[in-house]
């Protein structure tokens, strides 16, 4: 059986990353932008790297702000792990690099397909902003189990950057089994509520559809509302899914302009997420 070239593999990932189209309707190459290396002459990059240079990663870890959802084993999140200035710098960098030509949803000039997603494939170079996020995940004592955060040569080798304007969301889904255990998301910009529910067999089949060798073959607290457990994500927050949370629960974001949680009225605004994952090694000896 012949092997796919890197370009063919990447195009396949663009088509299939979330499975069925009802999960991510804009999941096409035309709506997705790839950026491999940052432009070192870009002011947003220079400002971001300047902010990163002034940060000691280990000072970001706050045990009092790190929560593990008891209802969902393997779901861990920390509020505002990144300070406001750094979070804002990340948002401006990501918006400029991936979505500088993307008008806000509903604008009259929005007559062309909107680029609402970016991707990065491969290990993150030392000078890349995603390398900083990867180091947070590797050094944080609670986000991921040691068996995951200590894997080599890289913890992650793929990033997906999603843009959400105002009322936009993403359907409930389990990440494809072509990705290893351990998925981490960073949130920048406006707030949103991420919801989790127990995955059905149909959810698992969707996740395994492109990877038959998958493991199944076929606020601070997570609050339960109508069979959903919900967490508030704000700029600078991070969440991690491993084990049961990774494979046995779906996650998604409702399409709405306003949300209510714990008595608070939450108004949506433009938000960018960075999700870090590792592709399953296709050369692991399995046939």
pLDDT digits (tens, 9 = 90+) for 73-91: 999 999 999 999 999 999 9
The yes-or-no verdict on residue 205 having pLDDT over 70 is yes
- Nearest 5°: the CA angle 277, 281, 284 is 150
Query: In this structure, what are the phi and psi dihedrals at residue 60, rounded to the nearest 5 degrees?
Result: -80, -20
pLDDT of residue 225: 53
* Res 82: pLDDT: 97
- Sequence-ordered list of residues with C-beta below 8 angstroms from that of 142, at least 6 positions apart, any chain: 61, 63, 66, 68, 76, 78
> Kindly report the CA angle at 86 between 27 and 60, in degrees rounded to 5?
105
Q: Judge whether residue 5 has pLDDT over 70.
A: no
Cα three-residue angle 77-167-107, rounded to 5 degrees: 130
Residue 16 phi/psi, 5° resolution? -115, 5
* Ranges of each domain in the chain: 6-277
Fold (topology level) of 6-277? Jelly Rolls (2.60.120)
Mean pLDDT calculated for residue range 170-189: 95
Residue 92, pLDDT above cutoff 80: yes
Mean pLDDT of 266-279: 96
- Give the pLDDT of residue 202: 86
> What is the b/e burial string over 180-192, where b = at least 16 CB atoms within 10 angstroms of the residue's CB?
bbbbbbbbbbbbb
Is the pLDDT confidence value at 163 over 80? yes
- Reduced to 3 states (helix: H, G, I; strand: E, B; else coil), residue 34 is strand
CA distances to 2, 213, 235, 280, 287 from 284, rounded to whole Å, are 16, 11, 38, 9, 9
pTM of the full predicted structure? 0.82
Mean pLDDT of the chain: 82
Helix (H) and strand (E) counts for the chain?
Answer: 7, 15
Q: How confident is the model at residue 34 (pLDDT cuts 50, 70, 90)?
A: confident
Copy the structure tokens of residue 162: 């999603």
Give the position of tokens 């955060």. Answer: 149
Closest CA to 248 of 216, 226, 213, 222: 216
pLDDT of residue 235: 97
pLDDT of residue 283: 66
Gap between the Cα atoms of 20 and 254, Å rounded: 17
Half-sphere exposure of 256 (CA within 13 A, CB side): 13
Contact in structure between 203 and 173 (CB atoms under 8 Å)? yes
Select from 250, 270, 283 the least CA-distant residue to 107: 270
């Amino acid at each position: 059986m012949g092997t796919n070239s890197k370009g063919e593999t990447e195009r396949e990932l663009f088509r299939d990353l979330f499975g069925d189209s009802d999960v991510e309707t804009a999941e096409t190459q035309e709506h997705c932008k790839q950026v491999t290396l940052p432009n070192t002459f870009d002011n947003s990059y220079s400002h971001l790297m300047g902010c990163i240079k002034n940060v000691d990663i280990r000072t970001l870890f706050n045990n009092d702000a790190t929560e593990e959802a008891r209802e969902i084993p393997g779901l861990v999140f920390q509020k505002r792990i990144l300070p406001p200035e750094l979070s804002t710098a990340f948002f401006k960098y990501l918006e400029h690099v991936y979505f500088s030509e993307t008008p806000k949803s509903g604008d009259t000039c929005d007559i062309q397909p909107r680029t609402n997603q970016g991707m990065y494939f491969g290990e993150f170079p030392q000078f890349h902003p995603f390398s900083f996020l990867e180091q947070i995940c590797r050094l944080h004592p609670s986000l991921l189990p040691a068996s995951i955060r200590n894997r080599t040569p890289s913890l992650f080798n793929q990033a997906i950057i999603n843009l959400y304007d105002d009322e936009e969301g993403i359907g409930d889904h389990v990440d494809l089994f072509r990705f290893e255990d351990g998925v981490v998301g960073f949130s920048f910009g406006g707030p949103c509520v991420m919801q989790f529910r127990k995955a059905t067999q149909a959810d698992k089949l969707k996740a395994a559809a492109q990877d038959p060798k998958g493991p199944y073959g076929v606020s601070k607290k997570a609050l339960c509302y109508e069979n959903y457990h919900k967490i508030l994500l704000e700029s600078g927050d991070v969440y991690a899914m491993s084990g049961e949370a990774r494979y046995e629960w779906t996650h998604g974001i409702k399409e709405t302009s306003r949300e209510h949680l714990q008595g608070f009225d939450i108004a949506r605004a433009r938000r960018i997420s960075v999700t870090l994952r590792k592709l399953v090694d296709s050369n692991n000896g399995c046939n």
